[in-house]
Amino acid sequence: MNKTKRKIFETSMKLFAQKGYDATSIEEITATVGVAKGTLYYHFSSKEEIFNFLVEEGMKLLKNSIDIKISKASNYIDKIRAVVLIQIKVIAKYEDFMTIVLSQIWGNEARNIMCKNKVIEYIKTIENILKEGMEQGEIIKGDPAVMASGIFGLTCSSLVYKLKTNKEIDIPTLYKEFDNSILKSLSKSK
């Protein structure tokens, strides 16, 4: 991605997270980036295309990070631990991205449906790890869809914790708390 496209991408993400998609205009994006509308339209045909690109790239980054990390784990509990750690890191590093996706999963507009589908697709990844772990006897039996949604929701609650405490997310401390309170309860060999 060239420098101008990256700047448009990053500025749009920040504005969408701060103001919301509807309240952010193309004019505001171009003014903040410092480019003409023509330059923006050279890289993206519309605000919707910027949004779609942002969600696609962000979810791809999250999924690729998870795939790399879980491929190195030797058991299913460690795979779930890897998922939780990556999610906390992504939430801490890409807070604007997560704010956008989570704020847009409600509703029936095309962007809402896309965000909803991306989140459900991602949660399905967690669900599959849980199912396989249950089949291998490493993870306690339960409804993997409920458990996967809970794990995703748990890590997303890091943003609520940050709002409540007004502190930056301390990744190791937060991960340790999640591991001690939730993840250990998944293991069949406690």
Listed by start position, the domains of the chain span 1-45, 51-186
Q: Please tell me the pTM assigned to this model.
A: 0.89
Residue (of 42, 51, 45, 41) closest to 19 by Cα position: 51
The share of the chain scoring above pLDDT 70, in percent, equals 99
The pLDDT assigned to 35 comes to 95
Higher-confidence residue of 168 and 147: namely 147
At 155-171, the pLDDT tens digits run: 998 888 888 888 888 99
Residue (of 124, 113, 135) closest to 83 by Cα position: 124
CATH 3.20.20.70 for domain 51-186? no
**Cα 176 to Cα 85: distance, rounded to the nearest angstrom:** 9
The pLDDT assigned to 190 comes to 55
To 10 degrees, the CA torsion angle through 76, 82, 87, 93? -170
1-45 and 51-186: same fold?
A: no
Residue (of 101, 67, 104) closest to 86 by Cα position: 67
Query: CATH assignment of 1-45?
Result: 1.10.10.60
By the 8 A CB rule, do 97 and 13 touch?
Answer: yes
Category of 109 on φ-ψ map: left (φ > 0), alpha (ψ -120 to 50) or beta: beta
